[in-house]
């Protein structure tokens, strides 16, 4: 176990800033250190973690000291204290869980000049500066909408203070930052081209009460928020919550949320795609987008099948019906040759 602990400690040290951003969220970076109040992540400045350095010795990355208590150690020690573990085995398991998350914090350098607003680079920087979704307000927001089991979704994250630019429809004095659910928009190669932000209210666990609680930035045309890797078949829908609702019934089915009807119509088809299911919203924009997409799919020799919700959209269906009944309704919408294959794989 000693060897396993040493290996995990070194792996954590290589992502020291990511560890601090996840477990010590009330802290902040100061040069090559992360400062915070204590190992539980309280506001303050007495505990500091070295973010950069070698793998061994006094100046090694991941080494930390709490000046108030005299405690010190490596990042495994810190995680154990933060999570209240009494057994090393529990800390090792938590470290392995953390390291399995697809982190891009190495892309984030706070000393680098800010990229142009709304650019791809700005989108990547925001995503890199955001936290894994586990245990956050973003996870609670989705759970309140019937959407769970999102901790392993690699393109979903949370930012505690995401900048918001009020417009003329906002009330006077509207704040310029709110917590936000962050979703990465990627192209067919998996490259981040943009992000989608849903600003949240920490009191209600709902969308923030602002004029435009959802906004996207970056390059969206043809891209979207992807879940799984598209192959022979895939589901496409407009809204993030629509697609995440479908994943409650079909967690292994590749899907993409294009984030608007216009972008749904312009979806770039994966090379191997032969059957496309479209989760359509019950509104004029959704119908027009589906018609335009159907023409493009036919020209590309892709079979397109439309899935219509019972109510206005599939998230409303999920919340009204519950997961079990929702799955049964969704099952009935698929062709017979796909039902048993897709839903047996989801079971």
pLDDT tens string, the chain, 347 residues long: the values are 556 788 888 889 988 888 898 889 888 888 889 999 999 888 889 999 999 887 777 778 999 999 988 899 999 999 999 988 888 888 888 888 787 654 433 344 555 556 666 788 889 889 888 888 988 999 999 999 999 999 888 899 999 989 999 989 999 999 999 999 999 999 888 889 999 999 999 999 999 999 999 999 998 888 999 998 888 899 999 999 999 999 999 998 999 999 999 999 999 998 889 999 999 988 888 888 899 999 999 999 999 999 999 999 999 999 999 999 999 999 999 988 888 778 766 55
Burial 71-91 (b: 16+ CB within 10 A, else e): eebbbbbbbbbbeebeeeeeb
φ/ψ (deg, to 5) at 297? -65, -40
Spell out the alpha helix ranges (H) of 212-273.
240-249, 261-265
Helix (H) / strand (E) containing 318: helix 314-321
Q: Domain 120-218's class?
A: alpha beta
The two tokens of residue 109 are 């350098």
225-346: CATH topology: Dna Topoisomerase Vi A Subunit; Chain: A, domain 2 (3.40.1360)
Domain boundaries, the chain: 2-100, 120-218, 225-346
Q: The whole model's pTM is what?
A: 0.69
Give me the half-sphere count of Cα atoms (radius 13 Å) on the Cβ side of residue 148: 6
Class of residue 65 by CB neighbours under 10 A (exposed 0-12, middle 13-18, buried 19+): middle
Contacts of 198 (CB under 8 A, 6+ apart): 138, 141, 180, 181, 183, 207, 213, 214, 240
Q: 């802290």: which residue's tokens?
A: 27
């Amino acid at each position: 176990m000693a060897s396993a602990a040493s290996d995990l400690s070194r792996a954590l040290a290589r992502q020291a800033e990511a560890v601090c951003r996840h477990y010590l969220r009330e802290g902040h970076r100061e040069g090559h250190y992360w400062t915070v109040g204590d190992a539980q992540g309280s506001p303050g400045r007495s505990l500091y973690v070295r973010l950069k350095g070698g793998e061994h010795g006094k100046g090694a990355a991941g080494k930390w000291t709490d000046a108030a208590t005299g405690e010190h150690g490596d990042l495994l020690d810190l995680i154990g204290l933060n999570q209240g573990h009494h057994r090393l085995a529990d800390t090792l398991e938590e470290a392995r869980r953390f390291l399995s998350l697809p982190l891009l914090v190495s892309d984030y350098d706070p000393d680098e000049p800010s990229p142009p607003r709304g650019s791809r680079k700005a989108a990547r920087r925001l995503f890199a500066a955001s936290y894994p979704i586990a245990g956050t307000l973003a996870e609670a927001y989705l759970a309140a909408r019937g959407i769970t089991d999102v901790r392993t979704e690699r393109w979903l994250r949370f930012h505690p203070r995401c900048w918001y630019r009020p417009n003329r429809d906002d009330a006077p004095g509207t704040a310029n930052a709110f917590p936000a659910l962050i979703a990465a928009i990627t192209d067919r190669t998996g490259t981040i081209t943009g992000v989608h932000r849903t600003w949240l209210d920490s009191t209600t666990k709902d969308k923030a009460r602002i004029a435009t609680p959802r906004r996207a930035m970056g390059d969206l045309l043809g891209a979207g928020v992807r879940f799984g890797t598209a192959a022979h078949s895939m589901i496409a829908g407009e809204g993030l919550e629509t697609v995440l609702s479908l994943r409650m019934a079909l967690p292994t089915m590749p899907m993409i949320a294009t984030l608007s009807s216009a972008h749904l119509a312009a979806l770039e088809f994966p090379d191997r795609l032969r059957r496309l299911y479209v989760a359509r919203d019950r509104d004029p924009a959704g119908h027009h987008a589906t018609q335009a997409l159907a023409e493009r799919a036919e020209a590309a020799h892709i079979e397109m099948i439309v899935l219509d919700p019972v109510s206005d959209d599939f998230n409303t269906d999920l919340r009204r019906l519950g997961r079990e009944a929702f799955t049964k309704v969704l099952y009935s919408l698929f062709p017979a040759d796909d039902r048993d294959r897709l839903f047996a794989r989801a079971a």
